[in-house]
């Protein structure tokens, strides 16, 4: 089902233009993406390590993370205009210079970012795409993991959190099959919540429903 366009969407997007990275992309919808690689040094005032959140939704996690770590640059990726606009508005209110947003399908990252330029990727409560024919769209499907492998620095990592047991099991299998080593695997993150955990919008919602939160860290094999 297609989401209805939010009221005033175009003017709200216009107001947060400075936070949205402009891209020259073609392709998608079954065709490979083509376009120009981004010049990272032109995106942020300081040259510092880069971390990427994919599927940032309304941006609560990305904004809190960027506030906590001013010595890191963050790119938050989101395909849906209705929600990325809200994320950008939050970031604008927080006056952050180390957080920018990409309104793209994550698949286009392979074209936009240089190889081995990303220190960490966050996958928070990614859409589970429960139907078998939709599995390719899961952000931990092999086709995405191969892109992340190219993007990560040699000591880089992926941090995944989800409430969805099926997606978590699928992800463990895909990570293992694609040459990642797993660590910090938790079947109930909040039973022993790390001090530095930043709760996302979906995490709050599912935790209030009493659902356990699954988490893992995946690193490409050396
Ligand atoms: C369930 S929401 C979770 C939002 C947020 N991370 C949280 O934890 O509250 C997943 C988000 O991922 C986005 N998404 C799904 N597939 C994507 C893709 N291929 N590229 C970019 N964003 C994607 C969806 O539009 C949606 O906003």
Q: Tens of pLDDT along 85-109? A: 999 999 999 999 999 999 999 999 9
Residue 215 within a domain: yes
Mean pLDDT confidence for 45-54: 98
- CB-based contact 101:56 (threshold 8 Å): yes
State if pTM tops 0.95: yes
Cα of 84 from ligand 1 centre, angstroms? 10
d(CA 12, CA 84): 10
What pLDDT is recorded for position 3? Answer: 64
| Ligand 1 atom showing the smallest separation from residue 105 Cα | 20
- Is the pLDDT at 4 greater than 80, yes or no? no
With residue 14 as reference, give the H or E element that holds it: helix 9-15
- Is the pLDDT at 179 greater than 90, yes or no? yes
Q: Judge if the beta carbon of residue 207 lies within 6 A of ligand 1.
A: no
pLDDT in tens, 201-218: 999 999 999 999 999 999
The tally of domains found in the chain comes to: 1
Phi, psi of 183 (to 5 degrees): -150, 175
Instruction: Tell me if residue 1 falls in helix, strand or coil.
Output: coil
| Ligand 1 atom showing the smallest separation from residue 107 Cα | 19
Q: How many helices (H) and strands (E) in the chain?
A: 8, 9
- CB-based contact 84:104 (threshold 8 Å): no
Q: Judge if the beta carbon of residue 142 lies within 6 A of ligand 1.
A: no
Q: Is 35 exposed, middle or buried (0-12, 13-18, 19+ CB in 10 A)?
A: middle
Residue 6 within a domain: no
Cα of 23 from ligand 1 centre, angstroms? 19
Beta-bridge partner residues of 62: none
Selected residue with higher pLDDT from 7 and 109:
109
Residue 180 within a domain: yes
Choose the weakest-confidence range: 21-30, 125-134, 212-221: 21-30
Residue 1 within a domain: no
Q: Judge if the beta carbon of residue 105 lies within 6 A of ligand 1.
A: yes
Residue 17 within a domain: no
Cα of 106 from ligand 1 centre, angstroms? 10
Give the CATH number, domain containing residue 181: 3.40.50.150
Cα of 103 from ligand 1 centre, angstroms? 11
Cα of 164 from ligand 1 centre, angstroms? 14
- Torsion sign over Cα 52, 53, 59, 64: negative
What pLDDT is recorded for position 2? Answer: 59
- CB-based contact 178:145 (threshold 8 Å): yes
What pLDDT is recorded for position 185? Answer: 97
Residue 107 within a domain: yes
- Torsion sign over Cα 113, 117, 122, 126: positive
- Is the pLDDT at 222 greater than 70, yes or no? yes
Its domain, for residue 147, covers 46-220
Q: How confident is the model at residue 34 (pLDDT cuts 50, 70, 90)?
A: very high
- Average pLDDT over the chain reads 96
Choose the weakest-confidence range: 31-35, 46-50, 60-64, 111-115: 31-35
pLDDT in tens, 137-170: 999 999 999 999 999 999 999 999 999 999 999 9
Cβ-defined contacts of 11-14 (< 8 Å, 24+): 12/85, 12/89, 13/81, 13/85, 13/88
Residue 39 within a domain: no
Residue 92 within a domain: yes
Cα of 56 from ligand 1 centre, angstroms? 6
What pLDDT is recorded for position 29? Answer: 82
d(CA 220, CA 57): 26
Instruction: Tell me if residue 89 falls in helix, strand or coil.
Output: helix
- CB-based contact 71:45 (threshold 8 Å): no
To test the ligand 1 pocket, which listed residue (126, 143, 167) has its Cβ within 8 A of the most ligand atoms?
126
């Amino acid at each position: 089902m297609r989401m209805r366009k939010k009221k005033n969407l175009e003017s709200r997007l216009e107001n947060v233009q400075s936070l949205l990275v402009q891209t020259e992309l073609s392709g998608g919808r079954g065709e490979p993406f083509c376009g120009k690689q981004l010049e990272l040094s032109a995106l942020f005032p300081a040259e510092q390590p880069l971390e990427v959140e994919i599927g940032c939704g309304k941006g609560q996690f990305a904004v809190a993370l960027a506030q906590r770590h001013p010595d890191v640059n963050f790119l938050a990726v989101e395909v849906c205009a209705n929600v990325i606009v809200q994320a950008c508005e939050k970031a604008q209110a927080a006056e952050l210079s180390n957080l920018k947003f990409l309104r793209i399908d994550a698949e286009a990252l392979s074209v936009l970012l240089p190889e081995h330029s990303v220190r960490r990727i966050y996958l928070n409560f990614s859409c589970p795409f429960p139907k078998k024919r939709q599995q390719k769209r899961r952000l931990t499907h092999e086709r995405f993991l191969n892109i992340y492998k190219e993007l990560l620095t040699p000591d880089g990592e992926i941090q995944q959190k989800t409430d969805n047991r099926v997606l978590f099991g699928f992800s463990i299998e895909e990570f293992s099959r694609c040459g990642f080593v797993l660590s910090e695997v938790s079947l109930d993150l909040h039973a022993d919540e790390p001090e530095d955990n930043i709760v996302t919008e979906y995490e709050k919602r599912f935790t209030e429903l009493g659902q356990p939160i699954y988490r893992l860290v995946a690193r490409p094999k050396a």
